[in-house]
Structure 1
């Protein structure tokens, strides 16, 4: 994907949940912002899991808002909204696969924003 940033793989570590960090990061995408919030609040130390949880929240909220806005625009908005669902599915699958592979996969806007938020939360 053009514009996406992938950094090096992480060595397998465990998260606060007792799962491997890759499994926890993957699960943070499963139900969008719901599991993202769960893993964001549950995980205290592992930045990899926190990053993917935050990116899950940002992406799912962005798709939800965009879908809602497009629903109010007759015809063109409805057509674009219909195209948004397959795009969201592809983004969701890519994020889960990359998280499971242990990669810091950043989408152009959501990734840097998520990384900044996680870094701010980690500071005392």
Structure 2
């Protein structure tokens, strides 16, 4: 467990875990309430960007005839795998930066 607490009063790793546990909504909430922890803010940004991207991809897959079902199933599997991986690594206090999305989140964090 992380010895550091975020401005919410939660341990940083627990706050980051909650960003992923509640997917997009958890990230938005922690972006609104967290004032100090770069660890929590990074995971909140990455959560919002990842799950927003998955939602958009799912919506786009719905417009593809026939193959859209397969794409949707693949997106479901990818989303669940990333959700579990990110929850576990954030709970361990690790900075798992996803390709592309993690880079975007880090750049946005540096602008904050």
How high is the TM-score relative to the length of structure 1? 0.86
CA RMSD, Structure 1 to Structure 2 (Å) = 1.3
Instruction: Name the structure, 1 or 2, with higher relative contact order (CA <8 Å, separation 6+).
Output: 1
- Which contiguous aligned blocks of 4+ residues in structure 1 show a shift greater than 4 angstroms? none
Among residues 38, 50, 53, which one is paired with 1:47 in the alignment?
A: 38
Conserved? CA contact 2:2–2:13, under 8 Å: no
User: Equivalences for 1:105-116 in 2 at 5 Å?
Assistant: 105-116=96-107
Aligned to 2:82: 91
Structure-1 separation of matches of 2:3 and 2:109: 20
Q: TM-score, normalised by structure 2?
A: 0.95
Aligned to 2:93: 102
Separation of aligned partners in 2, 1:93 and 1:11 = 19
Count of aligned residue pairs for this structure pair: 112
